[in-house]
Structure 1
């Protein structure tokens, strides 16, 4: 295995630099020397959260558990494409900046050449080297750490660095959820507190993300696509998951909560309406109504059963199977009709109840008046109140006449 600081210096692929970079590792802040490293001595970190959904897709499509790193050129070319596709505009912007002023922010690599921070900058330098034919060097700190024995330290450092400088740009929300699922739920590499500290967020905010990540996993399981995170990215379900999470919080009955979750999952899959977020908000409006929720769920579950029957024909789902299932226009139409019907009922009920709410509001406002103060008012102020009360009397008489019709 390559040792950058030993082998690299001997073969002149690593050059000492006169700059330092301050890092915080194990809560200790320290300046580390920065080196210039020839690109062919470095390789991407396949465990980077930013490319988690792309890695998942590649593994599924190629029926493999991991990408072979022994063929470093091929490995780098594969992940190079993932980094590029994850945010093409950010790549263009960073590459232009490096061409003009050079690499301004140094990265972080491990002794064997694995890049912990700076995947995008490394990608841009690879592009520049290919375009110009001139050897490029990546400026980075070299840590004497191993991904196997220092996994927690490396992940916490990676998170700290990735939520600063240019790495913060274009962080896909689904990739964030996948990272949280992997690091906190699946591998239990980090606790909620450790993750929150690493990204400078509150524990409550990260706990909320954990709950949404669990919903994402449940959704993928529901559609027979376990851990196929690229499907979640393709569905763009971050905002719909947020709406679902909020509506589930308001439903106390566990059985109703499960039915509602499955109804929403089925409609995520079928996509009966173009804008999934707006459509999920409509369901949230129904879920907030104690009067109509039971009837809505009874009707929805009949349609959900038909979706489950479709899924039974496809034990393993990919994008191809999703397109087949979504071609069932009758199910989509029934979902849409059912949801719109109950939204109209909730809206109608709200409209009918509006006069009662407004009357209660008017009563509460008048009841708050402290009559003891009235004697202390000027005659002008008291006259103004009398005029307003006369107007109120007229409105009350008008409402009473309509009630008596």
Structure 2
């Protein structure tokens, strides 16, 4: 009888070739998000022994029956004292199928900007709701943010299902409302799972208390969902210039930067500001010259013609975006300072930093699902708004794509240098 094909070597190879999935957790206050993340880490055996011992001791001191798994993730002293999550915390865990980078985001409305940060780099969002309360304002808010950022897969974990006697009717009601909202917002791949994070049902292990739910656990979904890579390689070539390298002794002039999208090879024609074109003669990297560079690579391009380019200029492929001074954008307010129509700011787009102003605040999205505030004239902290920006210099802006490979921007206070808002070019939701 022949030996099985599976060996320790093939197992080790599988471990080294596992895909990495970036996910984000979000939910309203007291929906059990910290306990859920703690359960995920604990049941995948991703907790160090000394950390687990510390949590056991703290849980006993508080009179907790068993482990208070939320202590595994509420790391800040303020969070431990208040029993809430404040900052975005990144957690790492792995199974035999995949490795995971988890952004654990806060639930309070005033920390919406933190949630936007966590979702902006995530391929999957896991939303927590309390089965007793169902879909609430924060659920709509977080789902809207996910849709704005182009997240394809959202998993709704209906937590504390044990507190409604494992009721299928309650679950189906929440499921129906959520899937309807997700479809309305354009979420392509919504899933709904009944769980009890405290007891461990359907987080990592299937539940024996939910015979009416034959579907996958949350972890099984995370292990099987397609990893969306943002398709930055499928876009046209984009290299925002970060630095011009000159060596006068050798007449060397190179344009350094990180490729944000596309592919480039020596001999390719590139398009520059003001309609100029030239060819790439060489591509330098820290490891020497290369015959091909792709999105994410940091390179120095040498060009056939001696053209005056500077930091902030864009080297692009044939589909180079038009240079404009006025364009629509969607912004998230990141500061308590109100941004009013006509406000002068600095605009960071790619590596360019130019003077700009908020020409118009068209609407602030009402994330409670009622009606948007039209022509509000301003936006504040945590507001998500459709605006029109005008820049002092022409910029090659283009709609947000490939999860931020192109089209993302920052607004900066001219006096203090503080970031006022983050956003992207174009409007993605609620255009009539």
How high is the TM-score relative to the length of structure 2?
0.23
Structure with more of its chain in helix, by fraction: 1
Bigger Rg over Cα: 1
